[in-house]
Amino acid sequence: MGVFQINAVRLWESLMATAQIGATPKGGICRLTLTDLDRQVRDWLKAQCEALGCTVAIDEVGNMFARRLGRNATLPPIAIGSHLDTQPTGGKFDGPLGVLAGLEALRTLHDADHTTSAPIELINWTNEEGSRFGPAMLASGVFAGVFTADYAYGRTDREGKTFGEELQRIGYRGQEKAGAHKFSGYFELHIEQGPILEHEGCTIGIVQGAQGVRWYDITITGQDAHAGAMPMVLRKNALVGASRVIERVDAIARDLPDAVGTVGLLENRPNSRNVIPGEVFLTVDFRHPETMGLDWLEGQLREALADVLPALQLTYRENQIWTSQPVHFSPELIDCVGAAVKTAGFSSRSMISGAGHDAVYVARVAPTTMIFVPSRGGLSHNEAEWTSQEQCAAGAQVLLNAVLEYDRRLGDHSR
C-alpha cells in the first residue's frame, strides 16, 4: 500500500461530518459558494489544518492554502486539493473528497512525524461549481490568469448579490494576490462523475488530461401560425428544424471517436398548444480531447445547419459563446500516479476527464494531474452520488503515495 497508510475510517468520518453542513433531505448537500454554509465548512477546514501546525493563507478571491512545512524551504510546495462548494442538489463527494483526502494525507504525515522535502499545501478553491456565480472554476481561473479579480468580484447571483460583496461578508477575502503562490506540482483527487471505472471494474483512473469544450447558442426562426389553418406544405415550423438539428448533433458526435455532443437546453416559442412554433433557441455542447477534433465537430455542425434549415424555409443565427482548449497533464506527475497505484496494488486505467475541474486552469501555471475513483452508476451533480468508503480510501492512498513519490524526485533533483 505504501510506507504511510491513510486512515480510511477517519477520512470517511470527515466526509460524513462535513456533509451535514448543508445536508439535504435526500442525502446530498446544498452548499453554494460564499453562503453562510460555505463559511462554516471553511472555518472547519481552517481549524483542522491549524491543529496540524499548518499555516493557512487566503488570497483575494477566497482560495484557501494550508501549508505544512518541508525540509527544503527553497522548493515550492506540492499542492493537493479540490473544492468544498456544491451544486444546489449536489452529492457528498464531488469536490469535498479531494479536499478531505488531502487533509487526511496531511494528518497521516503528521501522525508519522514525517517531514517531506518540499512543503505540502492543501487547497480549497472558491466557486468551482459556478452554480451561484458563473462561470465555473472562477477562482482557480483568476489564480491562473484566465480571469481578473475584478471580473470575479462583479459576478452576480440570481438575487443580484455580487461575488465580491459576498466574499467580504463571509470574511474570506484575503490580502494575498491570486496567483502569488507557486507550486512544484498539483495533484487533484476527484470522483470520476462518469461510469467508466465502475463498468470496467477499475479502482483508480490515471487522468491524462481534460477534454476541450465548445459551446454554441443557436436561434432558429420560422413563422408562428395557426395549427389548424396553416397547410403542412406551407409551414415554417422552427421546432421541426430544431428536432432535425438535434438528431444531426447526436450523429456528428457518434461519428468521431472520443467525441460527445449534447443539446441540453431548448426554448420553444410561443410554446402554445395550437400555435406552430415560430422560434426555437437551443444550445450545443461539443467535447473532444484534441483541438482538431473540436474543429471537425464545429465544421460538421455548421454544415448541418446550412443543410437542414433552409430546406425547411427557416433562418438561423449561430454563435460560439465559450471555448476551453484541451488540456494535457504533466507526464512526470502522471508517472508519479502510476508509481503510486503500483505501490498500492490497485487496478487502474488511463483516462481523459470529461468534466471541467480546477486542475484544468492550474495546469496553465504548474505541472498538474488528476486521480479518479469510481462514481456509482456514473452519477454526479446528484444527491444520489455515491463512492464507497473503500474507494475513497483507495483514492486518498494513491494521492498520498503520488505526493511522496514526487517529493522524493524533487529532493533528489535539488541535491
Structure confidence by residue, pLDDT tens digits, 129-144: 999 998 889 999 999 9
**Residue range 86-102: mean pLDDT, rounded:** 97
> Hey, how many other C-beta atoms are within 10 angstroms of the C-beta on 307?
12
* Helix, strand or coil, per DSSP, at residue 415: coil
Our measurement of the distance from residue 308's CA atom to the centroid of its chain's CA atoms, rounded to an integer in Å, reads 35
**Residue range 229-258: mean pLDDT, rounded:** 98
Q: Which three cell numbers stand for residue 208?
A: 491524462
Report how far residue 122's alpha carbon sits from residue 105's, in angstroms, rounded to the nearest whole number. 9
Reply yes or no on whether the pLDDT at 415 is more than 70. Answer: no
Reply yes or no on whether the pLDDT at 257 is more than 70. Answer: yes
**Residue range 67-81: mean pLDDT, rounded:** 97
Give kind and range of the element (H or E) at residue 390.
helix 389-414
Res 18: pLDDT: 98
Res 134: pLDDT: 87
Reply yes or no on whether the pLDDT at 1 is more than 90. Answer: no
pTM, rounded to two decimals: 0.88
Q: Give the list of residues 6+ apart from residue 335 with CB closer than 8 angstroms, or none.
A: none
Percent of the chain with pLDDT over 90: 95
Our measurement of the distance from residue 389's CA atom to the centroid of its chain's CA atoms, rounded to an integer in Å, reads 22
E-strand ranges in 55-127 read 55-58, 64-68, 78-83, 120-125
Domains of the chain by start residue, with CATH? 8-211+326-414 (3.40.630.10), 212-324 (3.30.70.360)
Reply yes or no on whether the pLDDT at 397 is more than 90. Answer: yes
**Residue range 209-233: mean pLDDT, rounded:** 96
Banded model confidence at residue 2, pLDDT cuts 50, 70, 90: low
Reply yes or no on whether the pLDDT at 324 is more than 90. Answer: no
E-strand ranges in 53-130 read 55-58, 64-68, 78-83, 120-125
Report how far residue 81's alpha carbon sits from residue 125's, in angstroms, rounded to the nearest whole number. 8
Residue 123: name the closest of 192, 73, 191, 54 by CA. 54
**Residue range 207-215: mean pLDDT, rounded:** 95
Banded model confidence at residue 113, pLDDT cuts 50, 70, 90: very high
Q: Give the list of residues 6+ apart from residue 231 with CB closer than 8 angstroms, or none.
A: none
Strands 120-125 and 275-276: unpaired
Residue 189: name the closest of 85, 252, 132, 104 by CA. 104
Reply yes or no on whether the pLDDT at 321 is more than 90. Answer: no
**Residue range 173-178: mean pLDDT, rounded:** 97
**Residue range 27-48: mean pLDDT, rounded:** 98
Res 335: pLDDT: 98
Banded model confidence at residue 356, pLDDT cuts 50, 70, 90: confident
Report how far residue 406's alpha carbon sits from residue 113's, in angstroms, rounded to the nearest whole number. 19
**Residue range 198-217: mean pLDDT, rounded:** 96
